[in-house]
């Protein structure tokens, strides 16, 4: 897809001039690079805002129509208002057909539903990166790079250096750098559920092992206490005492009778 951006050269500089431009529906910007000097430019806000909403606009060679002439440029920076949907400033860089450019290209993830991680293992795929740095000639610049997730399994990941790149495109990495693009793992909620189930099973096993020992112990109601034994133990003593008392009474009666007879 070819994008054309319309701009005009700008004379005014400074915060005051930029503020006046924004109030009039314009966006201040700058064009630099190549063998030409940097140039201050201005653009209509609304057309530019709608172009910026297109992902391809950020990773494409653009045609800048400036004061009747056209140049090939790249969008290098965009400053947005902190809380308004308003473009504050843009930077464009001139490109040459015979010079390689360094640019960020978006990643498109496909075939996640076919991966073992999703289809068979109930896992979750995390997209770690959304774009990567590449170097290429302007004519070889891809709109995006595809990441095939169809072979991704739990515990595995895809790294930048394993991505297939279009012809003429090379990664812009240093040394042994090889960042992760996507990874697959079991969701934390599922892990927590498994741990709870394992803990419940372990607790059930412990209760089952203790159950026979608990049955062998007599219930508290079946064990005689000292208070229950006391009446039984006191009964023979009472009988013995009563027996002695009966003999004593007979002896007294006998003595009294003898005394009466004597009188």
**Cα–chain center distance at 130:** 16
Other residues' Cβ atoms within 10 Å of the Cβ of residue 107: 19
Please give the pLDDT value at position 148. Answer: 97
**Which candidate, 52, 30, 42, places its Cα nearest to that of 6?**
42
Residues 6+ apart with CB under 8 A from 166: 140, 142, 145
Beta strands, E only, the chain = 4-9, 26-32, 39-44, 62-66, 69-80, 87-94, 101-110, 124-127, 131-136, 145-148, 157-159, 170-171, 180-185
Q: pTM for the whole thing?
A: 0.67
Q: Which residues of the chain have pLDDT under 50?
A: 214, 219-221, 223, 226-227, 229-263
Dump pLDDT digits (tens) for 208-256. 655 555 455 554 445 455 445 444 444 444 444 444 444 444 444 444 4
Q: Exposed, middle or buried, 92 (CB in 10 Å: 0-12/13-18/19+)? A: buried
pLDDT of amino acid 128: 96
Over residues 171-184, the pLDDT tens digits come to 999 888 999 999 99
CA distance 172 to 193: 42
Angle at 55 between CA 54 and CA 61, to 5 degrees: 95
For residue 35, what pLDDT is reported? Answer: 86
Say what the pLDDT of residue 249 is.
Answer: 46
92 Rama class: left (phi>0) / alpha (psi -120 to 50) / beta: beta
Would you state the pLDDT for residue 208? 60
Domains by residue range for the chain, with CATH: 4-95 (2.40.240.10), 102-189 (2.170.120.20)
DSSP run (H or E) holding 239: helix 226-262
């Amino acid at each position: 897809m070819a994008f054309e951006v319309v701009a005009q050269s700008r004379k005014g500089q400074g915060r005051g001039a930029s503020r006046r431009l924004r109030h009039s529906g314009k966006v201040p910007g700058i064009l630099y690079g190549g063998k030409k000097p940097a140039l201050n430019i201005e653009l209509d806000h609304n057309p530019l805002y709608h172009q910026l909403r297109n992902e391809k606009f950020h990773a494409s060679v653009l045609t800048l129509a400036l004061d009747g002439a056209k140049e090939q440029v790249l969008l290098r920076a965009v400053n947005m208002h902190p809380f308004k949907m308003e473009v504050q400033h843009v930077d464009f860089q001139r490109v040459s057909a015979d010079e390689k450019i360094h640019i960020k290209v978006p990643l498109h993830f496909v075939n996640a539903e076919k991966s073992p991680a999703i289809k068979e293992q109930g896992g979750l795929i995390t997209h770690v990166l959304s774009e990567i740095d590449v170097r290429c000639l302007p004519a070889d610049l891809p709109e995006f790079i595809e990441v095939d997730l169809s072979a991704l399994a739990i515990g595995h990941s895809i790294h930048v250096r394993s991505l297939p790149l279009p012809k003429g495109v090379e990664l812009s990495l240093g040394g042994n750098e090889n960042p992760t693009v996507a990874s697959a793992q079991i969701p934390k909620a599922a892990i927590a559920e498994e741990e709870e189930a394992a803990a419940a099973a372990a607790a059930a096993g412990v209760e089952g092992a203790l159950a026979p020992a608990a049955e062998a112990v007599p219930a508290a109601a079946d064990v005689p206490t000292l208070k229950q034994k006391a009446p039984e133990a006191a009964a023979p003593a009472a009988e013995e005492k009563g027996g002695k008392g009966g003999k004593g009474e007979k002896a007294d009666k006998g003595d009294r009778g003898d005394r009466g007879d004597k009188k």
